[in-house]
Structure 1
């Protein structure tokens, strides 16, 4: 799975962004035998709190893609996010829209490594954790990262999304 093109794209994006974990080393991909399609499943597999999982959710925002990296401990308040961004319409994207904008399947969408940049919001609730886990481009792969690094490598905007 480490050789999957999506995983390689995420790893390359992390290396190009000079991402570092809390220990100061490049993030290492963790590969599971089975996909971890939910925050609860990923947290259980890793032995961490569900809030440490950065769910990568793609929304259709007035026809454009919007990536919201939210804590697995709660749901995105779409009305609140739409209002804060001045959007007329914000809704969950369908699988085809997600793949078209990220090149990745739902359940494995990474915060980066997409064919072109996607506007990104990063949930401020993730800041409380010294280590966050994000998808690596496919549902079987995750990687650790800090909140500060997640903001930096994605060019995301810190936002209260719940």
Structure 2
């Protein structure tokens, strides 16, 4: 396994989450690609999106079916401005590359929002630290793992 996958797997175990990283047949840099390979709904993919809220990194765990509204996010966190982080900013905040950002395994904890729409799924899938890996968990486990605040994101 890649060192990023090991970091994520270790973080899952420390959190008491009995889940294992799954290596996909090919890269799944989008929720659609991941869902196709997993045979699940796109909405059950928990996309890890990094934004800058007043220039501070903010992780948003959004349903793969959601288009995140930055105005909604700004209101949720009390920020005056929210914008998508670029690739370098994502890597600096998470230690991981866009397309493979996991909800855990980062150099430091990130303020996190969790899309309330993910609650509709018994199982959600999140990236495992690289674009070709994922792992399953429940909505409640995702919230506990990230310490996130459940909110609307669109």
CA offsets, 1:28-84, max 9 Å, x none?
A: 211023210000000000000000000000001111100000000111111111022
Distance in 1 of aligned mates of 2:76 and 2:124: 25
Distance in 2 of aligned mates of 1:123 and 1:66: 13
Distance in 2 of aligned mates of 1:60 and 1:36: 24
Equivalent position of 2:135 in the other structure: 143
Distance in 2 of aligned mates of 1:81 and 1:108: 22
Equivalent position of 1:6 in the other structure: 4
Residue number among 112, 121, 127 corresponding to 1:129 in the alignment: 121
What stretches of structure 1 of length at least 5 have no aligned partner? Answer: 20-25
Residue 33 (structure 2) pairs with residue 15 (structure 1)? no
Equivalent position of 2:49 in the other structure: 57
Equivalent position of 2:61 in the other structure: 69
Give me the TM-score of the superposition, normalised by structure 2.
Answer: 0.98
Given that 2:50 and 2:59 are in contact with CA atoms closer than 8 Å, whether structure 1 keeps it comes out as yes
Residue number among 100, 107, 112 corresponding to 2:104 in the alignment: 112
Given that 2:21 and 2:134 are in contact with CA atoms closer than 8 Å, whether structure 1 keeps it comes out as yes
Given that 2:69 and 2:153 are in contact with CA atoms closer than 8 Å, whether structure 1 keeps it comes out as yes
CA RMSD of aligned residues (A): 0.7
Equivalent position of 1:27 in the other structure: 19
Matched position secondary structure for 1:130:
coil
Residue number among 14, 27, 46 corresponding to 2:38 in the alignment: 46
Matched position secondary structure for 2:57:
strand
Runs of 4+ residues over 6 Å off in structure 1 = none
What stretches of structure 2 of length at least 5 have no aligned partner? Answer: none
Aligned length: 154
